[in-house]
Structure 1
């Protein structure tokens, strides 16, 4: 069981929240989180890079000069990889970079990564409830009240994303907003600070507890 201090919109302590997630053993934690992170990055690759071999480059069907008697090196095609404009030797071809990982392992890695960021986590009560209209300046002021520097990358985790919150945060370069059900290892590890709505924390406990 882990206890977190809950802050309100003004940056004052408003109580405590607790959550309990099953995490990996200390000796295996780093390994399984690393595997999950590598898998996510690999699966994000398009794998569409492609170069032409000497058989695919247009032209080069005629032998450029006769085999002997010219004093020059032997050449059979102007599309040889040795020539400018020729084919590429062992160049990239379209491929699938995706890697597999068991569902239980993926969820265990996610819970472990999330729990490891406890010191950088700020739980907020009723996030955005006081935003009567879209106002980026008010969100920036709230982040400052919670002790977050202007140069820190922030991951904002919400249960539901209202229009006012979406419009107020989308123009802040270092703030990324996701729903609690879309939690992933890379975003959790990449951010300097995690701002979690109290109801989102309860949803994380409910969805990822098994």
Structure 2
């Protein structure tokens, strides 16, 4: 797939071939959904908590006698059916972490990038540099480019001018290319990628996944210890 390359002046300066392994990969909707749910779940703190009747502290005095009052018998003000009493089966602190193999996560990113490429929502720049960190300059650059309602800018390295120029724009975000994730891909309409960041993403998503091997200590070293 060949797409045009733009400069910050809004002019087409050439074309670039997108690697089909990344931008023409098979689209797996359930896999993308699983990756998105995993990322959103891992972002949850899980610190919610309610008090049980053993943690609510009211007076331990019996409210009224057991018999001869005409009222229902009550033994504890901490009971769940009382106002401000303990909560039954309430939320407790827990972890919402979900695990997903690295191969599946990368396959989900390739599927999402393929959807973006098919919809024409990927914009390639020759370079993205600003002389000073001004929001007005970044707004003028985006106005000259065919950008949708929102945009995600991916850069190959830290760029303080771009970061500070983007942070005041409500529908534009800045992200390092190696931090690309499924949530931001779906959150923003247009993906703006300079050529150096494009090469980094293509190399990352086509690189084979190597499993880490943990070497056991030798028998002689263990006995000596």
| TM-score past 0.5 threshold | yes
Query: Retained in 2: the 8 A contact 1:7–1:124?
Result: yes
2:145 matches 1:146: yes
State which structure, 1 or 2, has the greater radius of gyration over its C-alpha atoms.
Answer: 2
2:163 matches 1:166: yes
Equivalent residue number for residue 57 of structure 2? 58
Secondary structure at the aligned position of 2:142 is classed as helix
For 2:89 and 2:131, locate their aligned partners in 1 and report how far apart those are by CA, in whole Å.
59
In structure 2, the gaps of 5 or more residues are 208-225
Equivalent residue number for residue 202 of structure 1? 199
Secondary structure at the aligned position of 1:112 is classed as helix
Give the structure-1-normalised TM-score.
Answer: 0.91
Secondary structure at the aligned position of 2:174 is classed as strand
2:128 matches 1:127: yes
Equivalent residue number for residue 157 of structure 1? 154
Which aligned pairs between 1:105-116 and structure 2 lie closer than 5 A?
Answer: 105-116=104-115
Which aligned pairs between 1:172-187 and structure 2 lie closer than 5 A?
Answer: 172-187=169-184
Aligned-pair distance for 1:147? 2.2
Across the aligned residues of Structure 1 and Structure 2, the Cα RMSD in angstroms comes to 1.5
Aligned-pair distance for 1:24? 5.7
For 2:150 and 2:48, locate their aligned partners in 1 and report how far apart those are by CA, in whole Å.
31
Query: Retained in 2: the 8 A contact 1:37–1:186?
Result: yes
Number of residue equivalences? 203
Equivalent residue number for residue 42 of structure 1? 41
Equivalent residue number for residue 191 of structure 1? 188
For 1:115 and 1:127, locate their aligned partners in 2 and report how far apart those are by CA, in whole Å.
23
Query: Retained in 1: the 8 A contact 2:42–2:97?
Result: yes
Equivalent residue number for residue 103 of structure 1? 102
CA-to-partner distance for each residue in 1:130-184, whole Å, 9 max, x for gaps? x2222211111111111225xx221111111322112211211211110111010
Query: Retained in 2: the 8 A contact 1:19–1:202?
Result: no
Secondary structure at the aligned position of 1:208 is classed as helix
Aligned-pair distance for 1:67? 1.6
For 1:132 and 1:25, locate their aligned partners in 2 and report how far apart those are by CA, in whole Å.
40
For 2:25 and 2:74, locate their aligned partners in 1 and report how far apart those are by CA, in whole Å.
61
Query: Retained in 1: the 8 A contact 2:6–2:124?
Result: yes
Pick 1 or 2: higher relative contact order, CA cutoff 8 A, min separation 6: 1
Aligned-pair distance for 1:113? 0.9
In structure 1, the gaps of 5 or more residues are none
List, as ranges, runs of 4+ consecutive aligned residues in structure 1 with deviation greater than 4 Å.
none
